[in-house]
Amino acid sequence: MPAASDPFDTTALRDAAVATWLRDPSRLRQDANLEEDHARGYYRDRVVVELTQNAADAAVAADAPGRLLLRLTTGDAGSRLLAANTGAPLTADGVAALASMRASAKRAGATVGRFGVGFAAVRSVSDEIAIATRTPDGVAGVTFSLGRTRAVLDRAGAELPALGEEVARRHGDLPALRLPFPASRPWVPDGYVTAVTLELRGPEEVAAARAALAEVSDATLLALPALTAIVVEVDGAARTIADAAGRWLTVRATGTLEAALLADRPVEERERSGWSLTWALPRRSRTDAARIVEDAAAAHPGVVHAPTPTDEPCTLPALLVASLPLDPTRRHVAAGPLTDALVARAGELYAELAEAAAEAGEDALALVPTGLPAGQLDAALHGVALAALRAAPLLPEVGGGQRLSARAAQALAGPLGQDAAVLDALAPMVGGLVHVPPGRHGQARVLGVALRDLADVVDALPAAGPPERWREVYGALGPHAAAHREALAGLPVPLADGRTVRGARGVLLPTADLARFWAEHPAAAAAFPGLRVVHPGAAHPALHTLGAVEADAATVLAEEAVRAAVEAAGGDLPGGDADLAPATDGGLVSAADGDLPPAIVAVLDLAQQSVRARPDTALPDWLADLPLPGDAGAWCPAAELVLPGSWAAGVLDALDRLAPAVAARWDAAALRAVGVRADLVVTLVPDVVAEPAGAEEPVEGWADYLVHLAAVLGPGAYVGDLPAVADLDAVADDAWPALLARLAEDRDARAALLTEVRAVSGGRAPGLRAPSYTAWWLREELGAPFVHPRAGARARVPFLPDAPAGLDRLDDAVLAALGAVGDLDELEGPAWEAYVAAWPARGTVPMPDALALWHGLARAAGSGLELAPEAVPVLDGGTARMVPADDALVGPPMWAQVGPVLPVPAARVGPVADLLDLDAAGEVAPMTAGAVLQPTPPAALAVLPGAPTEWWECEELHVEGADVEWWAADGAAWATTTAGLARALAHAAEAWPARHVVEAALAEPDRVDALLAELAGG
């Protein structure tokens, strides 16, 4: 029986150990070598771990939740590490196990040992160890002391020198754990059952203990679930670790091992057939305090726990606690079939952890291992984990209620893959679509999720589905459309006619007004095969970013597909007299020919929609060719029809009237917009060049007008876009006054009349101008030029006809454009041509009219005109008359003494001759008789300073056989009379208008001052 002072009978344990050493000193060496492995620090980092596991074993033995206190105190009096735990108290068998260093007190059924070899780790930091425990008789305890062990061995060595020699060889490295001593004053903190106190050897050991305590964390509780709380105190600063399960997501599995798996394990381990596995993952909802606890002591991150931390690396992003077999160092997992079996089960359980994480809203992909394994065991864990994860339903399907495995999932790569709106919109069309969080694409790829580029996803989208769903897709993709145009180039687009095309580029995106029209007129889409208008239900602004053309009704009407449909419909239209009448369903029914073709109905509906939405919108010019029925049933282009009851109906009698039924169904504005005449129409002819036109003429007589432009501006002159009033060939004979009055008041038509044409490039000269088409046509029609109706007596325009009736109310600008003139100076180049063509071939001309003609021709000379009149007005013996052009001569007035001459100032003889293509009179000296050189009278020189200072007084003068009264040539003057002298001097001085003043000065020299005074205003 052990003594009361030695309740654990340590005396018997010491005596047995010493007796063994005395019998065989080599046993001392064996025990000392074993303990030396621990005492030299190899296990220094495992002291706290082993003490913690002993506390867990005590809790298991007591079948009650365990608590543990770990306290480090330092100071001048020494440093101590205390580990106090609840649970089963220390027993005599336990003390014997401690002292044996080779055997555990636990037997079959346990998963961990208690106070076995692991306790020996305390020798790495301490030479003085005390263990106290509560017993029914109070607190009892034992100590292990290196000093007391040395004393016992010294005495034993004295009895047996061989043993003494062995002790001496050890130099103090003695097996202190083999000799327990009763504790003199055992102590256990209140609330605990057992306490282990270690006197720390020195600063290195204190540092090791401090570091080990810092690593105690939630993971410690997860690895040793028998413990529910751990209090860590370091020099008075305390922290408590408890309730770890609430901060971690865990999955556990337990079971019984098959005997074959334990065949190669040690005997005592073969008796423990139970196994357990735990995977743990921190929850994202952890409190700040929990994060502080975890971060402060990271639970040996990156290592396998078995159940306490080992040195086996584990790069899987979760904590693994497993009953894996360990080697004798308890640092590494022992290879073998048992390890292989548990690793395989750990992979399956890891997938269960990932599923639980997904169910809890955690990031399951964070659990997918990436990168290279850190060892053989880690590689095995990677392999089994990946295999299980790939088949596990981890990924929530976008928009669905289920989770998918990686094999059944696909994800959108890139920024759009993070846009929830994009994913929600695509999910109904993309099977198995999942969201891969930012930074998890590597894990998804390793797992086997199909990561697809946007372009691939778009190309695989089915060309089906209701248009409204596609609008949702476009709305979601809209913010990304500009940056991803190429990837979205194959996006399906439903059209109004039921088709679906790939790609938005070039399709027509209806405005809100057009979308409503298309929804209200579904048959319109079918009327234009090939027309690509987005279905109203799918229309979205994002399509414009992707290349769709924003389109209103006018845009649609400009499409070639619309024109082609109308042309095809026009080719099938019959002729004859059909009586069109409104149908009860709103369509047009012809008793003879049936309904209007759908394409024509749709065009008219679109035109009506356009003008109602935007009255100022111009519709395409080709609509002028839209076939419509006339009131007699014949089909005509819209531009050849007039609207019943309109202004045009009373003026343009060459055009047919539109069928009343058509006029009744569509707005007048819509019918005008497609070309039906109701008023004046101005057509804009683009890119006009003054050269022969093609076969098609935009307006009547256009080809002739281009010839006219080429003649005036020069062939090839580019004049740009020209407006032209249409239908001038259709005006009724008695309607010209009404037409011209309307033209004068209509802004566009007035501009088309008054705007002269200049060459933008090419041509003869930049300053040349030509009349507008409208002016050119009307001048031809009205017989311009003609006398301005309001010129009255002021007009001096010989041979010019009077203005047509009804023009007197037109303003001067319009009359001038039409060709009205009040003076020959108002004639321009083309008007001169028409004017000379109207001259009579013979007859006398009143002298005032002749003077107006001669002066006008002199002013027109040099303008570049080339006129070819058949007859010209000449001065012949004091009379003006018309003579054939071939018989006329252009010269100064003195030539009238010789024969018929078209008289002009000497300086204008050449230009006027060129203008009319006539001969010009040259410089000819006269034949004289009795010629005497005389000084020019001073009075003549006073009024005509430029006159010759001498002149020839002659008895007779002859020029080309004709008697003449005076002559001037080469600056010289000849005369036979005083009146002749005045004319000769004026002609020689190139001052012909002054001849009468000179004659007066010659007749009355004393009146020179008065005559000069009269010249003051000249």
Is-cis flag, bond preceding 785, omega within 30?
yes
Percentage, residues of the chain above pLDDT 90: 51
Mean pLDDT check: name the lowest of 33-42, 212-221, 246-255, 991-1000.
Answer: 33-42
Mean pLDDT check: name the lowest of 18-27, 323-332, 609-618, 867-876.
Answer: 323-332
Cα separations in angstroms, 299 against 125, 218, 332:
21, 7, 17
Tokens of residue 836, six digits: 């000379």
Residue 654 lies in a domain: yes
Check whether 328 has a pLDDT greater than 70.
yes
Greater confidence (312 vs 766) lies with 312
Q: What is the pLDDT of residue 923?
A: 86
Diameter over CA atoms, the chain: 195
**Based on the domain organization, do 103 and 142 belong to the same domain?**
yes
Q: What is the pLDDT of residue 298?
A: 46
The pLDDT-based confidence of 121 (bands split at 50, 70, 90) is: confident
The pLDDT-based confidence of 712 (bands split at 50, 70, 90) is: confident
Check whether 587 has a pLDDT greater than 70.
no
Residue 476 lies in a domain: no
Residue 1005 lies in a domain: yes
Mean pLDDT check: name the lowest of 83-87, 230-234, 690-694, 975-979.
Answer: 690-694
pLDDT digits (tens, 9 = 90+) for 248-293: 888 998 888 776 776 677 655 666 667 889 898 888 754 443 443 3
Tokens of residue 843, six digits: 């007859």
Tokens 């003429």: give the residue.
697
**Based on the domain organization, do 654 and 698 belong to the same domain?**
no
**752: three-class secondary structure by DSSP:** helix
User: Would the CA dihedral through 250, 256, 261, 263 be positive or negative?
Assistant: positive
Domain boundary among 636, 664, 679: 679
What domain range is 934 assigned to? 925-1018
pLDDT digits (tens, 9 = 90+) for 366-408: 889 888 898 899 999 999 999 999 999 999 999 887 999 989 9
Q: What is the pLDDT of residue 4?
A: 67
Cα separations in angstroms, 746 against 617, 753, 787, 968:
18, 10, 24, 59
Q: What is the pLDDT of residue 963?
A: 93
Q: What is the pLDDT of residue 331?
A: 82
Q: What is the pLDDT of residue 580?
A: 42
pLDDT digits (tens, 9 = 90+) for 950-959: 999 999 999 9
Structural domain count, the chain: 6
Backbone angles phi, psi at 403, to 5 degrees: -105, 150
pLDDT digits (tens, 9 = 90+) for 645-664: 999 999 999 899 999 999 99
Residue 739 in contact with residue 777, Cβ under 8 Å?
A: no
Q: What is the pLDDT of residue 270?
A: 66
Kind plus residue range of the DSSP H or E element containing 777 = helix 773-782
3-state class percentages of the chain: helix first, strand second, coil last, to nearest 5: 45, 20, 35
> How many whole angstroms separate alpha carbon 684 and alpha carbon 1005?
70
**Based on the domain organization, do 231 and 249 belong to the same domain?**
no
Residue 356 in contact with residue 316, Cβ under 8 Å?
A: no
**DSSP bridge pairs for 919:** 889
pLDDT (mean) for 615-641? 91
> How many whole angstroms separate alpha carbon 409 and alpha carbon 449?
6
Residues counted in the chain: 1018
**Based on the domain organization, do 176 and 105 belong to the same domain?**
yes
Tokens of residue 381, six digits: 């864990």
Backbone angles phi, psi at 40, to 5 degrees: -80, 0
Residue whose C-alpha is closest to residue 917's, from 885, 880, 876, 875? 885
Q: What is the pLDDT of residue 219?
A: 85
**Based on the domain organization, do 161 and 107 belong to the same domain?**
yes
pLDDT digits (tens, 9 = 90+) for 732-779: 999 999 999 999 999 999 999 999 999 998 888 777 888 999 999 998
Domain boundary among 631, 655, 679: 679
What is the bridge-based pairing of β-strands 950-953 and 274-282?
unpaired
Backbone angles phi, psi at 281, to 5 degrees: -140, 130
> How many whole angstroms separate alpha carbon 876 and alpha carbon 34?
159
835-841: Cβ within 8 A, 24+ apart: 835/785, 835/799, 835/800, 836/867, 836/868, 836/869, 837/869, 838/799, 838/800, 838/801, 839/799, 839/869, 839/870, 839/871, 839/872, 839/873, 839/882, 840/799, 840/871, 840/882, 841/870, 841/871, 841/882, 841/884
pLDDT (mean) for 505-509? 94
Check whether 456 has a pLDDT greater than 90.
yes
Domain boundary among 876, 896, 922: 922
Residue 299 lies in a domain: yes
Residue 861 lies in a domain: yes
**Based on the domain organization, do 906 and 890 belong to the same domain?**
yes
**Based on the domain organization, do 619 and 641 belong to the same domain?**
yes
Residue 556 lies in a domain: no
> How many whole angstroms separate alpha carbon 950 and alpha carbon 620?
79
Residue 308 in contact with residue 227, Cβ under 8 Å?
A: no
Residue 72 in contact with residue 100, Cβ under 8 Å?
A: no
pLDDT digits (tens, 9 = 90+) for 789-814: 887 655 677 888 888 888 888 998 99
Residue 365 lies in a domain: yes
Considering just the CA atoms, what is the radius of gyration of the chain in Å? 61
pLDDT (mean) for 590-600? 65
**Based on the domain organization, do 277 and 229 belong to the same domain?**
no
Q: Which amino acid is at 311?
A: D
> How many whole angstroms separate alpha carbon 595 and alpha carbon 170?
123
Cα separations in angstroms, 244 against 53, 144, 225, 240, 964:
17, 35, 9, 11, 143
Check whether 297 has a pLDDT greater than 60.
no
> How many whole angstroms separate alpha carbon 17 and alpha carbon 38?
19
Q: Which amino acid is at 921?
A: A
**Based on the domain organization, do 917 and 987 belong to the same domain?**
no
Give the angle 948-949-952 at the CA atoms, nearest 5°: 75
Mean pLDDT score of the chain, rounded to an integer? 86
Check whether 104 has a pLDDT greater than 60.
no
**Based on the domain organization, do 373 and 338 belong to the same domain?**
yes
> How many whole angstroms separate alpha carbon 558 and alpha carbon 574?
26
pLDDT (mean) for 33-55? 80
Residue whose C-alpha is closest to residue 671's, from 719, 628, 705, 709? 628
Tokens 């409190």: give the residue.
287
H helix intervals, 257-362: 267-270, 288-296, 337-359
Residue whose C-alpha is closest to residue 116's, from 100, 129, 134, 138? 100
**Based on the domain organization, do 310 and 383 belong to the same domain?**
yes
Question: What is the pTM assigned to this prediction?
Answer: 0.64
> How many whole angstroms separate alpha carbon 245 and alpha carbon 224?
12
Percentage, residues of the chain above pLDDT 70: 92
Residue 501 lies in a domain: no
**Based on the domain organization, do 277 and 356 belong to the same domain?**
yes
| DSSP, residue by residue, 944-997 | -TTS-SEEEE-SEEEETTEE-SEEEETTEEEESSHHHHHHHHHHHTT-GGGHHH
Residue 511 in contact with residue 556, Cβ under 8 Å?
A: no
Q: What is the pLDDT of residue 1017?
A: 67
pLDDT (mean) for 834-858? 88
Backbone angles phi, psi at 206, to 5 degrees: -60, -45
**845: three-class secondary structure by DSSP:** coil
Q: Which amino acid is at 335?
A: A
Q: Which amino acid is at 873?
A: P
Q: What is the pLDDT of residue 115?
A: 36
Q: What is the pLDDT of residue 118?
A: 72
| DSSP, residue by residue, 105-168 | S--TT-SS-SSSGGGGGGGGTEEEEEEEEEETTEEEEEEEEHHHHHHHHHHHHHH-HHHHHHHH
